[in-house]
Amino acid sequence: QQPVQSPQAVILREGEDAVINCSSSKALYSVHWYRQKHGEAPVFLMILLKGGEQKGHEKISASFNEKKQQSSLYLTASQLSYSGTYFCGTEKGEGGSEKLVFGKGTKLTVNP
């Protein structure tokens, strides 16, 4: 069951903030956030494990609400380099060989 991401697309001006959501109908063990630029591989941003933690990475942070099976990615004071498609990948179990199930992605465009 793939997670549902919203919104599908966001257009920002440099310096604006954005929130990208990822929700699942199944209980999750972890949520992984990636950013992909056109023609490139997904680049890992952060992982959130069961426990409802929040993580930060420069001006990008994320939260994971285990009860609601939802994760949100927060991008503050966006930069041009933030443009790309953001994917959440979810895992239902803690085994090392668990697959990631990806959402359809959120395309973020940051304009000057």
The site for other proteins (CB under 8 A) is made up of 2, 30, 32, 34, 40-44, 47, 49, 87, 89, 94-105
How far are the Cα atoms of 28, 31, 78, 79 from residue 104, in angstroms, in the given order?
Answer: 18, 14, 22, 23
The separation between CA 88 and the C-alpha centre of its own chain, rounded to angstroms, equals 4
Minimum gap (Å) between residue 44 Cβ and other proteins: 5
Q: Which residue number, 41 or 58, has a Cβ lying nearer to other proteins?
A: 41
Toward other proteins, which CB reaches closer, 39 or 112? Answer: 39
Which residue, 44 or 79, is less far from other proteins as judged by CB?
A: 44
The Cα 37–Cα 14 span in angstroms is 17
Least Å distance between CB 112 and other proteins? 25
Integer Cα distance of 32 and 90 in angstroms: 6
